[in-house]
Amino acid sequence: MNDKSVLSNRLKTLRKESGATQATVCEAVLQQQYFDNLNIEKVLSNYENGRRKPDYETILKFAEFYNVSTDYLLGASEHKNEKNLTVNEQTGLSDDAIAALGKISKTFTPEIMDLLNYILSNENAISLLIDINNLSLAHKNTKEYYKYYEGLPVMEREEQFNKDIEAKTKEVIAKRQSGKYPTIELAPPDYEKYRIIIINEKVHSLIKDIVDNFDKKEGERNGND
């Protein structure tokens, strides 16, 4: 994707995300006298569809209007502004996740924010996320399992699978010792069922932790009354 198409796509996406009409953007960013007798809504449409590229002064105005950096508009950065870049470097969160958390902090009560902070720092919650990720990988890998072995005679499948897993495990151990963490590419069909059981157990553990934490805070509040 070239710079022009990145710019046009982001201009269009940002306008739609903001809920602004073309008329609103034109009034805020584009000046009629600058474009002589041209229809400025058509000028904006040309920018958003990649038929024309705005000059740098106009790009600056777009960046200010949408509260993003010019680097983001021009495709030099995947983060809308420096603040998001800093948060991403510290947490790994995407711009969408940062925006969602921002909305949560403005919308929900302090009690909900306390709960969110507790969940994000809870070991069971973190472990749960890892297991959900493993389950999604297992689903993909189970399909690969059937595809990989469907040509083998039934009696040979398990034996061959065990040999492959043994070889793959040795490969994984060797790579992990060198500082790499690959995913095992094959998973037996029952792996998904096992992972779902583990996830259910960790959900219950997380809920218990949340309830215990709530009871603890209630006790502290009552003790202070």
pLDDT, position 121: 83
**pLDDT, mean of each 10-residue run, the chain (225 residues):** 78 92 86 60 88 90 92 89 85 84 82 83 79 64 60 71 70 63 48 63 78 78 67
pLDDT, position 172: 60
pLDDT, position 35: 56
- What pTM was estimated for this model as a whole? 0.51
Find, among 109, 145, 132, 151, the residue nearest to 203 by Cα.
132
pLDDT, position 103: 82
Q: Domain 3-76 falls in which CATH fold?
A: 434 Repressor (Amino-terminal Domain) (1.10.260)
Find, among 2, 77, 63, 5, the residue nearest to 29 by Cα.
63
Tally DSSP H helices, then E strands, for the chain. Answer: 11, 0
Find, among 34, 79, 82, 37, the residue nearest to 54 by Cα.
34
Instruction: Delimit the domains of the chain by residue range.
Output: 3-76, 112-224
